[in-house]
Amino acid sequence: MQERRTAAPAILAITALLVTGLAAAPATSAAEPNAARCRLPAATDDLGSGFPVDEQALPAVGTLRAAMVFVDFEDHPAPRGSLLKAEANLRSGVEYLEDLSGGELDIEVTGSDGWVRMPEPSTSYPFDRGLSYEDHVRYLGDAVRAADDGFDFSNTDVVWVVATEEAENISFSPTTNHLDVTADGNHLTHAVTFGYDQWRWGGLVLAHETGHTLGLPDLYLFEAPPDDPTNWHAAVGGWDLMGLISGQAPEYFAWQRWQLGWLADRQVVCAPARGSTTATLVPVAESTTTARPSADATLVLPLSATRAVVVENRQAIGYDREILTPGALVYTVDTSVRTGRGPIRVVDATPGSPDGLDDAAFRPGTSWTEPSTGAVLSFERARGDDLRVTVDPS
């Protein structure tokens, strides 16, 4: 959950938690050299799904230097020997981000030598009463100042404040990209609080929240649909970590990997307005590995200046190993839609099924017609786990 300075009280649970006029082109089976045509521009002043990512984001290519500060409280002191458990609980999140980046992102973590005592009891920070931006930055600022005597923040890009497991009232894990605290001559702007929910989600909560600091939006809905008032995951279900942390398929979408610079333009097939287009897509989980760095990873069909249809291949490998239905995942991207409002929406291949969006992928041998253009997308099995996708305009 990414917190904004102008936001009302923060959402209290992570689980509540898409160019006209393109020239005609012949059919192609290789990534278009001008795939940049499909880089839909950002059309919102918040975290979103356009290019480039919002200016508040930290670079997702290169080295990210994280300060991990472990904090406890006078009313909830950390048990002796609990530091190693806290470190280990979040470690897999660093591995997740580095793995998905295909080596583009290196995260250097420097942790505090021990538990840092916060200046106020845990109950003075109202996580359980509707945490505001002001309350959150007060909490983070207190943590930085309490740690500053024994910690060097001079080269820090992002601060991760990890609360002891004993403080259950530090209940959830929000992010801010507007911290505005200076320590050791460094203006700190990006920070994440890891609250009690970290003990349920483990390292995936670190990967989700750090995704916000890199510019990715929330893909769950801040407001559920009126006709399905408890389904905050009606947009993408469990198909992306920025949606449902406990989802069956928590890989980042190929579109988001492209946003972050982890997919190259040569891996994106940008379908023209006229003429048939075919691409053979590797599984998303393999798209940023060193074994297949230039293989086609996604096909994009632009619909307007801010909307497109995206197709990617999801298979039961990598972080998708518990996937219910492998196949071609189709979704729409709308770069004019803000975080938490559904900037990405999965197309359901089996609407009305009891599995919701968990079985939304299209199986080989099926097809889908894009309703606004009449373009027909067909999906066929290729070699191994690869999928062949063909777009035939109407």
* Cα–Cα dist 202/208, whole Å: 11
Tokens of 269: 């097939």
What number is the average pLDDT over the span 218-245? Answer: 96
Q: List the domain boundaries for the chain.
A: 8-46+218-394, 62-213
Residue 9 is predicted with a pLDDT of 30
More confident residue, 106 or 15: 106
Instruction: Examine residue 393 and say whether the peptide bond preceding it is cis (omega within 30 degrees of 0).
Output: no
Coil, strand, or helix at residue 355? coil
pTM (2 decimals)?
0.90
Q: Residue 105: pLDDT above 90?
A: yes
* Cα–Cα dist 50/256, whole Å: 9
Tokens of 158: 């992002």
> Which of 273, 270, 251 is CA-nearest to residue 329?
251
Pick one of 3.40.50, 3.30.200, 2.60.420, 2.60.120 as the CATH number of 62-213.
Answer: 3.40.50
Task: Name residues whose C-beta falls within 8 Å of residue 226's C-beta, 6 or more positions apart in sequence.
Answer: none
What number is the average pLDDT over the span 60-70? Answer: 98
* Cα–Cα dist 83/75, whole Å: 18
> Contact at 8 Å (CB) between 203 and 100?
no
**What digits encode the pLDDT tens for the residues 137-180?**
999 999 999 999 999 999 999 999 999 999 999 999 999 999 99
Residue 295 is predicted with a pLDDT of 85
pLDDT band at 291 (very low <50, low <70, confident <90, very high): low
pLDDT band at 292 (very low <50, low <70, confident <90, very high): low
Q: Please, what is the average pLDDT of the chain?
A: 90
185: alpha, beta or left, given left = phi > 0 and alpha = psi -120 to 50? left
* Cα–Cα dist 80/32, whole Å: 58
Determine the straight-line distance between the first and last CA of the chain, rounded to whole angstroms. 40
Tokens of 327: 């196949």
pLDDT band at 27 (very low <50, low <70, confident <90, very high): very low
> Which of 298, 295, 292, 313 is CA-nearest to residue 381?
313
**What digits encode the pLDDT tens for the residues 336-382?**
999 999 999 999 999 999 999 999 999 999 999 999 999 999 999 99
> Contact at 8 Å (CB) between 170 and 196?
yes
pLDDT band at 394 (very low <50, low <70, confident <90, very high): confident
| Cα 198 versus chain centre, distance | 17
pLDDT band at 11 (very low <50, low <70, confident <90, very high): very low
- Written as one string, the DSSP assignment of 226-285 is TTSTT-TTTTTTTSSTTT-TT-S--SPPHHHHHHHTSS-GGGEEE--SSS-EEEEEPBGG
**What letter represents residue 184's amino acid?**
D
> Which of 210, 209, 192 is CA-nearest to residue 105?
210
Point out the least confidently predicted range of 202-206, 249-253, 293-297, 327-331.
Answer: 293-297
